[in-house]
């Protein structure tokens, strides 16, 4: 988008989270100036983190520069006072080279800040008439404001619950049933597809010879399927528990299968898994599910050892995890209980004043 004659403009905010009003503000600044700097203010303890918010903004507005700075204001969530503009003007002069022609804002502090940096203030939709949305509204009712978020932000707000289980322990059934119950996308097991493909090409399961490269491909494919599911979820509504993705296994589970089928150490797989762990792990109990052979399973005698390894990996991950047992219905109920408890303990949004916004 070409500017409207001004050299540079600055937009300041917390973008917690970025919403349609913020995007309109940034786009208006772009229509006025050739260069736009978005200054994202990082308040202590805020969630989502400032780094994540900055990445979302940069992806949505690739032509602007996004800079993160620690909050210099000292009034919590109260409106800015004149001293705030003094501090920010001093910071800007030291941190960012050059001058700004415009300050584009929807807030009352905009004029004072513009005066301090010798810029022109452009007030954009201060009454929120063009976009009836605010950060407070999004944090208070994510479901109601869901469509006021860009798909990139929606995808980024999804959480992942992963179902881990040894062969024939009901993990796939639970993943499908849970996803249906909470209205979430489901991610199926890339390794299962790879197993069938390899068995077909090898002339039978007994002829399959696994390699490190096979498992590397499974790890990459599983991660790609998870990203695809988040993108699908971004274009639909989410359930009462908020935006979740239900995964039938993930890279952490692949560590156990790597150890099962290869003689080499699993450090590479473990490092890959730890680079992007799920929010919550549920391990399916093998004691109340009868083993069923489906043509590619070969580990009935190893079920309990594999189950123990999944428990060890989940426990060592540092993430929340729970063992689920019982009938299919009881397992879904236990899983929903675990998700509900997780939402209560781990709010999606936290502001500087430590106000938390959890799903009811």
pLDDT band of 354, cuts 50, 70, 90: low
pLDDT band of 303, cuts 50, 70, 90: confident
Say what the pLDDT of residue 97 is.
85
Mean pLDDT calculated for residue range 297-325: 89
Say what the pLDDT of residue 82 is.
63
Say what the pLDDT of residue 286 is.
92
Question: Which of these, 210, 77, 76, 183, lies nearest to 134 by C-alpha position?
Answer: 77
SS3 label, residue 158: coil
Percent of the chain with pLDDT over 90: 72
Say what the pLDDT of residue 36 is.
98
Percent of the chain with pLDDT over 70: 91
Say what the pLDDT of residue 293 is.
58
Tell me, letter by letter, the H, E, C secondary structure of 102-158.
Answer: EEEECCCCHHHHHHHCCCEEEECCCCCCCCCCCHHHHHHCCCCCHHHCCHHHHHHHC
- Round the average pLDDT of the chain to a whole number and report it: 90
Distance CA 46, CA 55 (A): 15
* Burial of 251 (C-beta count, 10 Å sphere; 0-12/13-18/19+): buried
CATH number of 158-353: 3.40.50.300
Say what the pLDDT of residue 84 is.
81
pLDDT band of 2, cuts 50, 70, 90: very low
Q: What is the pLDDT of residues 59-112, one digit of tens each?
A: 999 999 999 999 988 665 555 656 788 899 999 999 998 899 999 999 888 999
The residue extents of the domains of the chain are 6-151, 158-353
The correct answer on CATH 3.40.50.620 for the domain covering 6-151 is: yes
Mean pLDDT calculated for residue range 17-44: 96
Distances (CA, A) of 277 to 58, 226, 232: 24, 11, 20
Say what the pLDDT of residue 112 is.
92
The answer to whether 226 and 250 are in contact (CB under 8 A) is: yes
**Element housing 284 (H / E):** strand 280-284
Instruction: Answer yes or no: same fold for 6-151 and 158-353.
Output: yes
SS3 label, residue 75: coil
Say what the pLDDT of residue 32 is.
97
Say what the pLDDT of residue 1 is.
43
Say what the pLDDT of residue 53 is.
98
Least confident residue range of 125-139, 157-171, 178-192, 308-322: 125-139
Mean pLDDT calculated for residue range 303-322: 95
Q: What is the pLDDT of residues 189-241, one digit of tens each?
A: 999 899 889 989 999 878 889 999 999 999 999 999 999 999 988 888 787 78
The answer to whether 107 and 80 are in contact (CB under 8 A) is: yes
Distance CA 88, CA 74 (A): 12
Say what the pLDDT of residue 287 is.
87
Say what the pLDDT of residue 214 is.
96
Say what the pLDDT of residue 211 is.
94
Structure tokens, 96: 């960012």
Say what the pLDDT of residue 117 is.
95
């Amino acid at each position: 988008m070409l500017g409207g004659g001004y050299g540079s403009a600055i937009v300041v905010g917390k973008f917690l989270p970025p919403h349609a009003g913020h995007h309109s503000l940034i786009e208006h600044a772009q229509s006025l100036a050739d260069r736009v700097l978005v200054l994202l203010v990082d308040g202590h303890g805020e969630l989502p983190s400032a780094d994540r918010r900055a990445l979302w903004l940069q992806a949505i507005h690739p032509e602007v520069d996004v800079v993160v700075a620690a909050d210099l204001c000292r009034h919590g969530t109260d409106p800015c006072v004149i001293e705030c503009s003094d501090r920010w003007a001093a910071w800007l002069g030291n941190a960012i080279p050059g001058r700004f022609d415009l300050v584009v804002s929807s807030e009352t502090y905009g004029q004072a800040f513009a005066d301090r940096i010798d810029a022109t203030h452009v007030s954009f939709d201060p009454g929120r008439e063009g976009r009836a949305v605010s950060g407070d509204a999004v944090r208070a009712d994510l479901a109601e404001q869901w469509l006021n978020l860009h798909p990139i932000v929606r995808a980024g707000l999804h959480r992942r619950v992963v179902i881990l289980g040894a062969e024939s322990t009901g993990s796939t059934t639970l993943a499908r049933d849970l996803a249906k119950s909470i209205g979430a996308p489901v991610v199926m097991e890339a390794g299962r597809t790879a197993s069938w493909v390899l068995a077909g090409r090898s002339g039978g399961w007994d002829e399959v010879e696994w390699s490190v490269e096979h498992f590397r491909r499974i790890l990459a494919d599983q991660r790609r399927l998870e990203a695809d599911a988040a993108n699908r979820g971004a274009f639909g509504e989410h359930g009462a528990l908020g935006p979740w993705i239900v995964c039938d296994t993930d890279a952490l589970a692949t560590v156990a299968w790597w150890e099962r089928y290869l003689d080499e150490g699993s450090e590479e797989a473990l490092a890959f898994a730890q680079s992007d762990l799920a929010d919550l792990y549920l391990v399916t109990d093998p004691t109340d599910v009868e083993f069923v052979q489906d043509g590619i399973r070969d580990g009935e005698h190893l079920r309990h050892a594999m189950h123990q390894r999944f428990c060890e990996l989940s426990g060592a991950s540092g993430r929340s995890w729970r063992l689920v047992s019982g009938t299919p219905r009881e397992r879904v109920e236990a899983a929903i209980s675990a998700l509900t408890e997780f939402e209560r303990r781990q709010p999606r949004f936290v502001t500087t004043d430590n106000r938390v916004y959890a799903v009811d």
